[in-house]
Amino acid sequence: MENSSPQFQRLWTNRRDQMTSRDWTHLPLLPSIVDRLGLIDLLRFRAVCKDWNSASFAATAEIDAIPDQELWCLIYGGNNSECSLITESDGKHTIYIPEMNGATCLASSLGWLLLFREGSMFFFCPLSGAKIDLPGPFPHTAINDHVAVFSAPPTSKDCVVAVVSRTETETLELHMIERGATAWTKHKLASMVPTKIQYAAHYNGGFYFFDNKSDSMVYMSIEQRELRLGKVRYMKSAKDKSIPLRFRTNSEKENMKKRLGLEDGVQVSICGTVVSCESSADKMVPYENTGVGADDAEGRQIVKAAWFQPRFHRVSQNQSW
């Protein structure tokens, strides 16, 4: 029989071996599975092996990118890259992020952190490792009670970054840089209030910085490049004109403190954020105790933390500011 010849058998065997040894990670099944994973499951999936990591390259865990979602928290500090990741439902995870070693988070929005380290600033997504450097150096070599905010994701042409601080008792200083620019611009406001910025937000072409204790605020128009002092007025009825922002409630504060799980007496410097809410005004989470020295006056270590929306951003290798 011709079909039983050794030559035919070898050919059939080779084809069979090629079929059975095919790299099944390229099959469309894996991307279909990946698209249904939440962030924690996606991170676990990517950690299995290089092939699974490659198969999930385009995944963004959009299933978790929904309004009103509980924030995650990244606790970091010390002189190493060890961090604690606190998620909504899976508890606390120990992860290692070299980019957080020696860094301080100044702003958090839509899954991006704005970090300051060794005189320079960069955007960083802690879940994907995506990084975008800002032109440097930043005008200040040290950070103390600085609060920042940005208008859009760093991949957007509309991204503008603003960093505010009090350089003197009677002077507020704001540095700003927009996408594509190579240098920071400086703006000053002679005012004794607010004494300490606790909240920061962007809305409708402007940056808002709030004290919350003195009901004072600072407003910066991106287009007009004008820094102004204002007064917070609370809505008395639904007909009152207002910006869709609100401060965190006391019950929300206690719940977030409980989630951190830190021991009593631990000094913590926390970077706040703004949470999008479909049914109400967006919630502003405050910046707390933002003095970021390595230790306090009694030699106790200050732990750093950043609240952030869980997102998995990817950028190209040649992505630049």
Q: How confident is the model at residue 273 (pLDDT cuts 50, 70, 90)?
A: very high
Judge whether 321 lies within some domain: no
pLDDT, tens digit, for every residue of 2-25?
444 444 333 333 444 444 445 555
Has residue 313 been placed in a domain?
no
In a domain, 316, yes or no: no
Whether residue 183 is found in the same domain as residue 257: yes
Q: How do residues 177-230 score in pLDDT, each as one tens digit?
A: 999 999 999 999 988 777 789 999 999 999 999 986 778 899 999 999 989 998
Q: Is position 266 within any domain?
A: yes
Left (φ > 0), alpha (ψ -120 to 50) or beta: where does 289 sit? left
HSE (side-chain half, CA atoms, 13 Å) at 193 = 12
Place of tokens 């802690």: 126
Would residue 230 count as lying in a domain?
yes
Q: Are residues 55 and 85 in the same domain?
A: no
- The domain spanning residue 93 has which CATH number? 2.120.10
Give yes or no: residues 106 and 247 share one domain: yes
Tally of domains in the chain: 2
Amino acid 88 reads E
Is residue 24 domain-shared with residue 135, that is, in the same domain?
no
CA-based torsion, 129, 135, 140, 145: positive or negative? negative
Helix (H), strand (E) at residue 253? helix 250-260
Sheet with strand 199-203: strands edge to edge: 199-203, 206-210, 216-221, 226-231
Does the structure show a pLDDT above 50 at 157? yes
41 & 148 share domain? no
Ranges 7-11, 33-37, 67-71, 171-175, most confident: 171-175
Residue where a domain stops, chosen among 9, 34, 64:
64
Contact 55, 32 (CB under 8 A): no
Q: Domain check: are 138 and 60 in the same one?
A: no
Section 229-236 average pLDDT: 82
Q: Which pLDDT belongs to residue 257?
A: 86
Say yes or no: 124 and 179 in one domain: yes
> pLDDT per residue over 131-155, tens digit each?
999 998 999 998 888 999 999 999 9
Residue owning tokens 């385009």: 58
What pTM, to 2 d.p., does this model score?
A: 0.81
Q: Are strands 245-247 and 282-285 parallel, antiparallel or unpaired?
A: parallel
Q: Domain check: are 23 and 105 in the same one?
A: no
Domain ranges, residue 145: 70-308
In a shared domain, residues 155 and 209: yes
Are residues 59 and 190 located together in one domain of the fold? no
Peptide bond into 310 cis (omega under 30): no
